[in-house]
């Protein structure tokens, strides 16, 4: 019988990233499928951000290939990869704090707009058309993700957790095929982390495929449907949260010997 293969949205084939003698990422084969909320976890220095950077064009991988919906994007630059539909956020919030939430979202559209510097300076027809488009679509996004009450608020005046949400909303402006989030819950209190989890589940329910690096185990276990665990650059486990919780290699990576994996994950989730 013919077997129908689902093509991953984002995949890597034997991806390696070396910094001199340091093998930061070693032979990782990643597959993130349509509709996934895919967690990338591992102890500090495991290679998670380096793997993200290799997928998004910020690092040219030493070996291996990266595919977006089957297209080889290994050698493309970050802005070319973004144009093809890969959006990402960074560990530190990168909002313009003195601008309104809507103006921050509008910036996310710059890849889709046609205006150049001359259009902007002289407010040409093209500029006005782009501006109207960015305002309309920006408001649409804020409405979809439930942030419209902050439309005119200065980003810097928002609580930290809401700033994170705005940053994620801005990444939706390129209508991404996949959204990669680097430690979105970093620095959040438990309430903010729970709200962020609900927010990401909501965005996923809108049809967005998501990859997320995160240290907060409770967040990861409650939010992601699949997880890859890295340690010293290598993949030590991949699967559903239940598989990860019971894996001995994961236990040893996080806690050394002595705890069974499920207990180890529970301890991490409680802390
Ligand atoms: N540009 C670079 N030059 C040299 N070494 C680097 C560079 N970027 C990362 N590394 C090293 O690669 C290894 C993996 O780092 P990476 O930041 O990917 O880990 P991580 O899993 O994201 O860690 P964390 O959870 O602490 O953010 C680390 O040993 C780090 O010091």
Which pLDDT score is estimated for 57? 94
Domain boundary among 151, 175, 199: 175
- 41 and 110 part of one domain: no
Q: What is the distance in A from the centroid of ligand 1 to the CA of 227?
A: 19
- 186 and 75 part of one domain: yes
pLDDT tens digits, 210-226: 999 999 999 999 999 99
Q: Measuring from atom 7 of ligand 1, which residue has the nearest CA?
A: 19
- 65 and 107 part of one domain: no
- 2 and 27 part of one domain: yes
- 76 and 184 part of one domain: yes
- 59 and 184 part of one domain: yes
* CATH code, domain with 80: 3.40.50.300
Q: Measuring from atom 2 of ligand 1, which residue has the nearest CA?
A: 19
Q: What is the distance in A from the centroid of ligand 1 to the CA of 264?
A: 24
Q: How open is the CA angle 42-206-226, to the nearest 5 degrees?
A: 25
H or E stretch at 140: helix 125-145
pLDDT tens digits, 133-176: 888 898 999 998 999 999 999 999 999 999 999 999 999 988 99
Q: What percent of the chain has pLDDT over 70?
A: 85
Per DSSP (E only), the strands in 103-208 are: 178-182
Domain boundary among 175, 204, 222: 175
Find the range with the poorest average confidence among 40-44, 53-57, 91-95, 192-196: 91-95
Alpha-carbon distance of 124 to 105, in angstroms, equals: 22
Which pLDDT score is estimated for 131? 75
Residue 47 alpha carbon, nearest atom of ligand 1? 18
Q: How far is CA 86 from CA 26, 178, 219, 237, 239, in A?
A: 22, 5, 23, 25, 23
- 195 and 152 part of one domain: no
Which pLDDT score is estimated for 2? 55
Domain around 74:
1-85+178-271
How many CB atoms are closer than 10 A to CB 167? Answer: 21
Domain boundary among 144, 175, 206: 175
Q: What is the distance in A from the centroid of ligand 1 to the CA of 50?
A: 6
Here the ipTM equals 0.96
Q: What is the distance in A from the centroid of ligand 1 to the CA of 269?
A: 24
Residue 52 alpha carbon, nearest atom of ligand 1? 18
Closest CA to 7 of 204, 250, 177: 177
Number of domains present in the structure of the chain: 2
- 123 and 73 part of one domain: no
Q: Please count the helices (runs of H) and the strands (runs of E) in the chain.
A: 11, 11
pLDDT tens digits, 245-267: 889 888 888 766 655 555 555 55
For the ranges 102-116, 215-229, 240-254, the maximum mean pLDDT occurs at 215-229
Tell me what the pLDDT averaged over the chain comes to.
Answer: 88
- 263 and 185 part of one domain: yes
- Strand pairing partners for 143? none
Alpha-carbon distance of 61 to 73, in angstroms, equals: 11
Pocket test for ligand 1, best of 28, 46, 88, 181 (most atoms within 8 A of CB): 46
- 107 and 134 part of one domain: yes
Alpha-carbon distance of 39 to 181, in angstroms, equals: 10
**Which residues does a 6 A CB cutoff place in the pocket of ligand 1?**
19, 22, 24, 42, 44-50
Which pLDDT score is estimated for 261? 55
Q: Are 227 and 240 in contact (CB under 8 A)?
A: yes
- 5 and 38 part of one domain: yes
Phi-psi sector, 64: left (phi>0), alpha (psi -120 to 50), beta = left
Cβ-based neighbours of 46, under 8 Å, separated by 6 or more:
230, 231, 232, 233, 253
Alpha-carbon distance of 148 to 167, in angstroms, equals: 14
């Amino acid at each position: 019988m013919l077997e129908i293969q689902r093509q991953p949205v984002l995949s890597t084939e034997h991806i390696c990233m070396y910094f001199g003698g340091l093998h930061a990422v070693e032979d990782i084969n990643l597959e993130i499928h349509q509709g996934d909320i895919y967690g990338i976890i591992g102890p500090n220095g495991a290679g998670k951000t380096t793997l993200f950077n290799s997928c998004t064009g910020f690092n040219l991988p030493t070996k291996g290939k990266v595919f977006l919906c089957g297209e080889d994007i290994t050698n493309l630059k970050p802005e070319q990869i973004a144009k093809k539909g890969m959006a990402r956020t960074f560990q530190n919030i990168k909002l313009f704090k003195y601008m309104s939430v809507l103006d921050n979202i509008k910036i996310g559209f710059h890849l889709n707009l046609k205006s150049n510097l001359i259009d902007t300076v002289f407010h040409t027809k093209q500029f006005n058309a782009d501006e109207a488009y960015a305002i309309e679509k920006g408001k649409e996004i804020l409405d979809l993700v439930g942030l419209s009450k902050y439309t005119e608020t200065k980003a810097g005046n928002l609580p930290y957790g809401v700033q994170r949400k705005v940053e994620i909303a801005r990444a939706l402006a390129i209508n991404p095929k996949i959204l990669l989030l680097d430690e979105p819950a970093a620095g959040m209190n438990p309430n903010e982390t729970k709200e962020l989890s609900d927010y990401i589940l909501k965005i996923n329910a809108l049809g967005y495929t998501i990859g997320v690096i995160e240290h907060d185990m409770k967040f990861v276990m409650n939010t992601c449907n699949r997880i890859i665990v890295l340690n010293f650059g290598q993949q030590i486990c991949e699967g559903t949260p239940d598989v990860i919780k019971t894996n001995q290699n994961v236990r040893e990576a996080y806690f050394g010997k002595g705890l069974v994996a499920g207990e180890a994950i529970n301890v991490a989730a409680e802390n």
